[in-house]
Every structure is written in structure tokens, then in C-alpha cells.
Structure 1
């Protein structure tokens, strides 16, 4: 008997019962692995679809915000300015003017946006020679989409602000007093309740007041807005 024959005889043959068990275990492992892969792939698909939907929603809101709901500049317009009270007298001895002046200003704030516009408290200002001589505050408010808000402001002169204005003597003697009214509104346009954009709107009016007739003889206004 050769050594090769001996080694063949000593090797224990695999029993018939062991082979089926090994095959069944491999099939079970393969099936479990397939299920795990399917679950993982399903989760990946769900995540990808969710991200795509979120991206689509964000893109839709962004496009709407930049097109249909693109912020537009509110416009402040001074419609009329009238004199409620005017008293002017010249103190020749002390070379000064005693002046009492109250102006009634009608203005409108137009919101051309498709969304609401809200603004904080502000003031209408009265100036003479670049110097503040009167101020009238007005409260915060909001304007609906594509609406116009009328506002009425009363500007009363602070007489003590003009005590040192020698130029006023010459203006009163000439019969005309040039003043300036200025209104500035700062607010926000809320686009789709996501984007809040700061907006400034102002109106400046150069006014000439007749001392003898006690009325406004000239009024030149300009408006400006800034996003």
C-alpha cells in the first residue's frame, strides 16, 4: 500500500447529513444580506426623493420671490400742504422776527407689492435753511398688498429755533419764507413669510410761504426709495 493510499484512507469522509446544513446556512445568510441591501437602498431612495422635493419647494419659493412677489419700492407722496396758522411780526428794535407757523400736510404711502408692507414709527420734519424747526411724529402701521395709506400730519414751528436766524428777517421783509418738509418711512416687505426685505421711502418738499396772503405759493416735491 502506498503512502498516498494511506492518506486517502485516513481522511474522514464528509457525512451526507453535513452537506445540506452548510448549504442551508449559506442560503440563509445570502437571503438576509439581500434584505439588508434592499432596506438600505430603500432608505437611500427615500432620502434622495425627500432632498429633491425640498430643493424643488425652495426653488419654487425663490422663483416666486424673484418674479411674481419681487419686492417693489413703496412710494411716499405729499399731496397737499396748507397753512393752518401763520403769524409773523418784525421787531425792528431787536432786529428779529416773531413767527408762529403751523402746516397741515396730506401725504400718501403707496405699497405696489403683492405682499404687505409694515413700517415703524417715524416723523415728519420741518426745516428752514437746513435747520430743524418743527417735528410731527406718526405711529407705526402696515399697508396691505397693492394698497395706499393716506396720512395727515400737522407740523408746528418751534419758534425758539428761529431766534438766532437773522436771515429770516430778510425773508419776512421780502414777503416770502422758504421752508422744507421731509418725511421718511423705514419698513419691511415680507415675501412669502420667508424673505424680509428692508425698504426706505422718503419725500422732500421745498415750500414757499407768502407772508401777506398766508398761503403756499410754491411747492416742489420729490420722492425717493431704497431697497
Structure 2
């Protein structure tokens, strides 16, 4: 007879543990499931402080303003490392911007911006620059500089103090600048890696 209360107590305890486990798993896969952040990069400005094609070598001083928007859909803060934006001209690195590490609060969106200063000497002394300039000598307003940027954001969110999700995102932009028109056109694509 003494075993019956122990069996009932153990059965109730086991049932309670099972119910809590089911609730915890359901909450994890619905509300607290870690999700990858959404990252969007946008070229917001291009500034030419000098553009002279009549001198030798030609002089180009320019900078690009890039905004990176990080949307955190998690119920926990997303901590990210340094946001690095690399600028290339026909595959050659010509500039870089680093925004220091930070945090995006739970279920919020934050924009971090950086300015990439173009290393003009690396642009001017490429064969592609000379070819582009020579082909547009009769129509200088249509002279363009094609750039590529790659912005990477990597970090992690900790849900319920236990579950960690690591995520990284890379945004690649093709940027076409028209120095004499002071215009910039960009087209960006994003890839996300979770895990």
C-alpha cells in the first residue's frame, strides 16, 4: 500500500515535466525561435570634392555614404561586430569603411552609417579608368565610374539566456557614379547565413 502514493507522486511529477517540456518546445518554435536579422545596405550619398580630367594625372576626390539598416525580429537583442564596407573598382580595392560594433534591441530596426573615402590614386592609375575616360572625352557628362561595395554584418542573438543564434549577412552593391552630373545609381543584393 505504501507504494501507491509514491507511484502517484512520480506520475504527477512526470506529467508536469512532460507538459512543461511541451510548452517550452512550443514557445521556442513559435515565439522565441531565433530568426536571422534582415540587413539592407543603401548608398545614400556621393560627394565629389574634386574631379579634374584635364590635368595629368587626372584628380579625383570622392566619398560614398553607405547606410546599413539592421532589422532584428528576435525577442532578444542582436549584438553585432564591426560593420565593414569594402569598395572595389573593377575588382581592385579602393576604399574601406568600418563602423564599430553595437547592438540592435529586441524587435527593433537600427541604421548605422559609414563613409567610404575613395583612394583616388588607385582608381586613376588603373587601365580601366584611362579607357573609360578616353571613350568619353567627347561626351564627358556621360563619363561614369563603376564601383562595387560589399558590406558584412555578423553577430548573435541570445534567446532566453540559453539559445544562441549566430547570423551573418553580406550585402553587395553595384554602384555607378557620374561625377560631372553628381549622380549615383546603385543596385544591391543581400545574402544571409544562419548558424
Query: More helix by proportion, 1 or 2?
Result: 1
Distance change (3 Å), C-alpha of 1:53 and 1:194: farther
Alpha-carbon shift at residue 102 of structure 1 (Å): 0.7
Q: Distance in 1 between matches of 2:124 and 2:10?
A: 75
Q: Distance in 2 between matches of 1:196 and 1:67?
A: 16
Q: Distance in 2 between matches of 1:104 and 1:205?
A: 13
- TM-score, normalising length: structure 2: 0.80
Question: Which residue of structure 2 aligns with residue 196 of structure 1?
Answer: 164
Q: Structure 1 residue aligned with 2:144, among 176, 182, 188?
A: 176
Q: Looking at both structures, which has the greater relative contact order when contacts are Cα pairs under 8 Å and sequence separation is at least 6?
A: 2
Question: Which residue of structure 1 aligns with residue 31 of structure 2?
Answer: 68
Q: Structure 2 residue aligned with 1:210, among 166, 173, 178?
A: 178
Q: Structure 1 residue aligned with 2:51, among 61, 84, 88?
A: 88
Q: Say how many residue pairs are matched.
A: 187
Q: Counterpart of 1:153 in 2: which secondary structure?
A: strand
Alpha-carbon shift at residue 154 of structure 1 (Å): 0.5
Deviations 1:145-191 (A, max 9, x none): 22110112100012343364111122344310000122110111222
Alpha-carbon shift at residue 98 of structure 1 (Å): 3.4
Question: Which residue of structure 1 aligns with residue 98 of structure 2?
Answer: 137
- Structure 2 unpaired stretches of 5+: 137-142
Larger radius of gyration: 1
Determine if the alignment matches structure 1 residue 223 to structure 2 residue 190.
Answer: yes
Q: Distance in 1 between matches of 2:150 and 2:80?
A: 17
Question: Which residue of structure 2 aligns with residue 5 of structure 1?
Answer: none
- Structure 1 unpaired stretches of 5+: 1-33
Are 1:65 and 1:192, in contact at CA under 8 Å, matched by a contact in 2?
no
